[in-house]
């Protein structure tokens, strides 16, 4: 695993316009960065990323199994009581999932360590599945990279195939895609997924989360009063449970992507549960709920994470009671979990985080984020990678 500088493609901004990639620059800062790339060996990808990714997903499913069978655990995961049936039934009925992203700390040697599982609303999928794929295609065609260069990235292909399977599992329904208003990144992400569903010939539509309506029959509707029977939502389950329509989730008979049981593994309480069930697994870091946090070795550093958090918000890192880094944000009222610190590797003065994608239960690709802080946040940059 090395970081290599490379010339940017001269016309990439124009190309981004042409392909509708609008959020490559955010608030005047570069988000997509193709002035460098990461290079992996095939063995690093297959042995250190791909295999553990699929194994951890299976371990996460075991956690779901445990949590759905225990009211005490559902409480510990801060899932409100009125949503327990929705969560339990979705798992019992085998409601299918679409995708997840596991975040790892990995430096090319030794086991990758799981930091968290973005199992409910993962983003940066367009950049991963298509845009870095195109970057490699262009650079190979121009001779800047050798023909033998590959990439761990079958994401788009697997998404299209998965949508095809999902239609078979969910016949005769229109799949509505949704996200919140005024978020260009989310809108772009959802459009990409809708395009993939269209390639699989699904019947699709779009509705903003805020525009979803409730009918007199307790079903949800879009702005044209069409009933929503199947909904992809780039919107956290923990918000939906707590909001006004959260009480109608059971009666609405909607199939969701991601399904409600994903709220268990997108939850940071997953981390202590994984450690409890699979203690000393090479890809896991010790993690505990508050009551057992004294078991963590304080001079190795401790990371405090809110049970619900997105984009690295409200995380703090301390060593021997001294705070090393902290991020702000609106989360944390539900409580925290504590994880042993495993500092992100540093390449070229930036901290590097590996995102490893799953489509259903299959490892499907890799994305790289760089941040100048120990805590990777939404300000971090996205860099492409190759396998050589």
Partner 1 sequence: MKRSSNINIFRMKKSRSTFLLRPLYLGVVASLAACGSNTQEAKVIKNPEQCVEETTLTIQECEVAYKKALEESERVAPKYSNQRECEAEFGYRNCGQQTSSGFFMPLMTGFLLSELLNSGRRHYNPVYTYRGSRSNYRDRIMTSNGSILSRNGRGTFHVSKDTLTKKAPTVKKTISRGGFGSKASAKSSWGGGGSSRGWGG
Tokens of 117: 């599982």
Selected from 156, 283, 356, 380, the binder of partner 1 by CB under 8 A is 156
Specify the residue, 15 or 298, whose C-beta has the smaller distance to partner 1: 15
The residue among 201 and 319 lying less far from partner 1, judged by its C-beta, is 201
Tell me which residues in 5-44 interact with partner 1 (CB under 8 A).
17-20, 23, 26-27, 42
121 touches 238 (CB < 8 A):
no
The interface region with partner 1, picked from 77-85, 90-98, 215-223, 298-306 by CB under 8 A, is 215-223
| Among 71, 75, 81, 242, interactor with partner 1 by CB under 8 A | 242
Determine if 354 is a binding residue for partner 1 (CB under 8 A). no
Which of 6, 61, 73, 209 lies at the binding interface for partner 1 (CB under 8 A)? 209
* Chosen residue from 55, 292, 362, 378 binding partner 1 by CB under 8 A: 378
51 touches partner 1 by CB under 8 A: no
Alpha carbon distance 15, 11 (integer Å): 6
**What distances in angstroms separate CA 318 from CA 99, 298, 302, 305, 339, one per listed residue?**
32, 8, 5, 12, 11
- Which of 127, 195, 258, 371 binds partner 1 (CB under 8 A)? It is 195
Phi first, then psi: give them for residue 102, nearest 5 degrees: -95, 135
User: Tokens 């000393």 appear where?
Assistant: 280
Range 219-238, binding partner 1 (CB under 8 A): 219, 221, 224-229, 234-236
Q: How far are the Cα atoms of 35, 288, 343 from residue 298, in angstroms, in the given order?
A: 38, 13, 14
Residues 325-344 that bind partner 1 (CB under 8 A): 328-331
User: Based on CB atoms, which residue is closest to partner 1, 74 or 254?
Assistant: 254
Of residues 289-318, those binding partner 1 (CB under 8 A): 310-311
Q: Is 373 in the site for partner 1 (CB under 8 A)?
A: no
Closest distance between partner 1 and the C-beta of residue 129, in Å? 8
Query: Residue 65 or 378: which CB sits closer to partner 1?
Result: 378
* CB 188 to partner 1: min, Å: 9
Interaction of residue 55 with partner 1, rule CB under 8 A? no
> Checking DSSP bridges between strand 175-178 and strand 230-233, what pairing results, if any?
parallel
Question: 296 or 310, CB closer to partner 1?
Answer: 310
**String of DSSP letters for 280-319:** T-TT---EEEGGGGGGS-GGG-EEEEESS-STTTT-EEEE
Note whether 324 binds partner 1 by CB under 8 A: no
For partner 1 (CB under 8 A), the number of binding residues is: 82
Tokens found for residue 31: 């988000």
Candidates 12, 84, 245, 289; binder of partner 1 (CB under 8 A) is: 245
193 interacts with partner 1 by CB under 8 A: no
Residues 164-183 that bind partner 1 (CB under 8 A): 172-174, 179-181, 183
Q: How far is CA 109 from CA 48, 198, 350, in A?
A: 8, 40, 18
Residues in region 73-102 near partner 1 by CB under 8 A: none
Q: State the minimum distance, in angstroms, from the CB of residue 205 to partner 1.
A: 7
- Exposure string (b/e) for 48-85, b if CB count within 10 Å is 16 or more? bbbebbeebbebbeebbeebbeeeebbebbbbeeebbe
- CB of residue 95 to partner 1, shortest distance in Å: 19
Cβ contacts of 127 within 8 Å, gap of 6 or more:
21, 32, 367, 382
Residue 269, C-beta contacts closer than 8 angstroms, at least 6 positions apart = 76, 77, 78, 289, 307, 337
């Amino acid at each position: 695993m090395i970081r290599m500088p490379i010339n940017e493609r001269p016309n990439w901004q124009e190309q981004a316009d042409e392909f509708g990639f609008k959020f490559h620059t955010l608030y005047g800062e570069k988000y997509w960065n193709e002035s460098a790339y990461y290079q992996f060996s095939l063995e690093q990808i297959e042995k250190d990323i791909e295999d553990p990714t699929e194994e951890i997903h299976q371990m996460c499913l075991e956690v779901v199994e445990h949590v759905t069978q225990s009211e005490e655990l559902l409480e510990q995961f801060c899932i409100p009581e009125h949503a327990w049936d929705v969560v339990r039934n979705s798992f019992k009925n085998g409601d299918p999932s679409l995708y997840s992203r596991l975040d790892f700390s990995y430096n090319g040697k030794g086991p990758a360590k799981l930091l968290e599982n973005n199992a409910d609303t993962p983003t940066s999928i367009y950049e991963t599945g298509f845009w870095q794929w195109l970057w490699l295609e262009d650079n190979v065609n121009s001779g800047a990279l050798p023909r033998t260069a590959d990439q761990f990235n079958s994401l788009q292909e697997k998404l299209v195939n998965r949508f095809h399977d999902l239609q078979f599992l969910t016949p005769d329904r229109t799949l509505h895609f949704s996200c919140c208003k005024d978020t260009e990144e989310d809108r772009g992400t959802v459009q990409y997924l809708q395009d993939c569903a269209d390639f699989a010939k699904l019947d699709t539509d779009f509705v903003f989360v805020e525009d979803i309506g409730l009918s007199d029959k307790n079903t949800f509707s879009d702005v044209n009063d069409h009933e929503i029977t199947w909904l992809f939502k780039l919107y956290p389950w923990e918000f939906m449970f707590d909001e006004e329509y959260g009480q109608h989730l059971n009666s609405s008979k909607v199939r969701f992507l991601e399904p409600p049981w994903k709220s268990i593994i997108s939850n940071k309480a997953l981390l202590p549960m994984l450690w409890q069930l699979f203690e000393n697994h090479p890809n896991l870091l010790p993690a505990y709920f508050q009551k057992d946090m004294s078991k963590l070795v304080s001079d190795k550093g401790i990371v405090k994470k809110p049970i619900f958090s997105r984009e690295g918000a409200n995380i703090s890192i301390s060593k021997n009671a001294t705070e090393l880094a902290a991020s702000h944000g609106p989360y944390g009222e539900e409580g925290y979990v504590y994880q042993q610190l495993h500092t992100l590797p540093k390449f070229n003065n930036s901290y590097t985080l590996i995102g490893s994608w799953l489509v259903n239960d299959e490892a499907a690709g890799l994305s790289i984020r760089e941040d100048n802080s120990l805590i990777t946040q939404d300000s971090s940059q996205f860099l492409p990678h190759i396998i050589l």
